[in-house]
């Protein structure tokens, strides 16, 4: 009888252990998916074509020449599936498209001059910034056509957008009048501004932190990075001092570090949390402008306004490991990764 009781107790303990193990495996947190490998970098040429950099070999490929463009392509963006490349034609007021699988070209007329472009996460819309207006210019991708134009009542200019993870809102700077704007995509209206924050803040380029809750933005006149809390739609009191003339900014996957291109002193500032932790000097790339992090290869890529150069940064050592020249171009502007993707940002309701 004692043996039966003993073995019964052992059986019960083992059964409880197995149940607990199964429950723990089912409910334990999982790591975020790894980014798929990016294979191409596309960059605007400020001419009539888009440059292509092979990320496996770090060599340039034949550029994509848009037949409808005469010159001055400054912005590039990609569809959600990475198959459609979009570009801006500032001279002819058009958004251009190129199917990377079929090599088919298309275009959509814009009522105003377009500068830089940003695609929604679901790929249904393109937002084009305008250096002659502060506001929001949107296009649908299917059909590929102009959708809406909403401008700030006080004028100004806009150079960048940050699109919320759920695609419901778009944030933009009013560069000339020192405030941020919030745009309701479905209502096609500006529903808030940050007017009233400390004077002197001049928002330039925006980047969502990967947590989907805060936007970091550069100020190229104050040489600082500021933080916008999207929950309260207010600029936080903390600012981060960086190099001279900060412009492009981007985060590595997970958000542990951000990289800022400083066009006035040819450096890159590395930010962790709310402090600048290191500075990378780029001797070759004068006027570094846009920067994009590639977590699939532990790199960051940076374009240059005054040189036809793409600089490659190793984000594990924070050193420049390659400089690729594109002599056919006079300079390089906005850049975008292609041929791969990072996991989508968390969908947080605002």
pLDDT at 19: 43
Q: Is residue 21 scored above 80 in pLDDT? A: no
Q: Is residue 28 scored above 60 in pLDDT? A: no
Taking residues 230-237, report their average pLDDT: 91
pLDDT at 199: 56
Say if 265 falls within a structural domain: yes
pLDDT at 221: 92
pLDDT at 264: 93
Q: What is the CATH number of the domain that holds 289?
A: 2.130.10.10
Q: Could you read off the pLDDT of 74-131 as tens digits, one per residue?
A: 899 999 888 999 999 988 999 999 999 999 999 999 999 999 999 999 999 999 998 7
Contacts of 285 (CB under 8 A, 6+ apart): 266, 302, 304, 307, 309, 311, 323
| Closest residue by Cα to residue 203 from 216, 186, 184, 187 | 216
143 preceded by a cis bond (ω within 30 of 0):
yes
Q: Could you read off the pLDDT of 277-335 as tens digits, one per residue?
A: 899 998 888 888 899 999 999 999 999 888 788 999 999 999 999 999 886 666 677 88
Assign 136 a pLDDT band (cuts: 50, 70, 90). Answer: very high
Say if 42 falls within a structural domain: no
Say if 1 falls within a structural domain: no
Q: What is the pTM of this model?
A: 0.85
Taking residues 241-270, report their average pLDDT: 94
- Distance CA(122)–CA(125), nearest Å, equals 8
Taking residues 192-200, report their average pLDDT: 70
Q: Return the higher-pLDDT residue of 5 and 239.
A: 239
Taking residues 331-343, report their average pLDDT: 64
Residue 165, domain extent: 62-338
Number of domains, the chain:
1
pLDDT at 305: 83
Say if 147 falls within a structural domain: yes
Residues 27, 31, 37: CA angle, nearest 5 degrees: 145
Q: Is residue 31 scored above 90 in pLDDT? A: no
Taking residues 166-177, report their average pLDDT: 93
Q: In whole numbers, what is the pLDDT of the chain averaged over residues?
A: 84
Assign 196 a pLDDT band (cuts: 50, 70, 90). Answer: low
Say if 14 falls within a structural domain: no
Say if 223 falls within a structural domain: yes
Say if 128 falls within a structural domain: yes
Say if 57 falls within a structural domain: no
pLDDT at 35: 62
């Amino acid at each position: 009888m004692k043996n039966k009781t003993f073995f019964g107790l052992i059986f019960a303990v083992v059964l409880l252990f197995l149940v607990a193990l199964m429950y723990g495996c089912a409910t334990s947190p999982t790591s975020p998916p790894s980014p798929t490998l990016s294979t191409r970098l596309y960059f605007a040429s400020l001419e009539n074509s888009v440059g292509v950099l092979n990320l496996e070999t770090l060599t340039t490929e034949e550029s994509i020449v848009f037949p409808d463009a005469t010159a001055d392509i400054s912005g590039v963006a990609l569809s959600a599936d990475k198959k459609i490349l979009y570009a801006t034609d500032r001279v002819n007021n058009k958004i251009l498209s190129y199917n990377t699988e079929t090599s088919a070209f298309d275009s959509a007329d814009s009522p105003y001059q377009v500068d830089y472009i940003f695609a929604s996460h679901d790929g249904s819309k393109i937002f084009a910034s305008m250096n002659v207006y502060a506001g929001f210019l949107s296009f649908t991708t299917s059909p590929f056509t102009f959708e809406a134009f909403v401008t700030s009542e006080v004028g100004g200019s806009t150079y960048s957008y940050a699109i919320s993870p759920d695609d419901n809102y778009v944030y933009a700077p009013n560069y000339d009048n020192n405030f941020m704007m919030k745009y309701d995509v479905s209502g096609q209206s500006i529903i808030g501004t940050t007017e009233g924050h400390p004077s002197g803040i001049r928002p330039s380029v925006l980047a969502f932190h990967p947590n989907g809750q805060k936007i970091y933005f550069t100020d190229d006149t104050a040489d600082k990075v500021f933080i916008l809390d999207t929950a309260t739609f207010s600029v936080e009191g903390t600012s981060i001092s960086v190099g001279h003339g900060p412009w492009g900014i981007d985060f590595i996957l997970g958000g542990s570090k951000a990289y800022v291109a400083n066009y006035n002193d040819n450096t890159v500032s590395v930010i962790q949390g709310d402090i600048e932790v290191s500075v990378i000097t780029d001797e070759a790339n004068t006027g570094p402008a846009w920067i994009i992090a590639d977590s699939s290869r532990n790199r960051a890529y940076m374009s240059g306004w005054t040189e036809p150069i793409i600089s490659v940064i190793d984000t594990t050592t924070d050193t420049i490991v390659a400089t690729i020249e594109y002599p056919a171009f006079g300079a390089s502007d906005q850049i975008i990764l292609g041929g791969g993707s990072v996991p989508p940002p968390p969908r947080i309701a605002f």
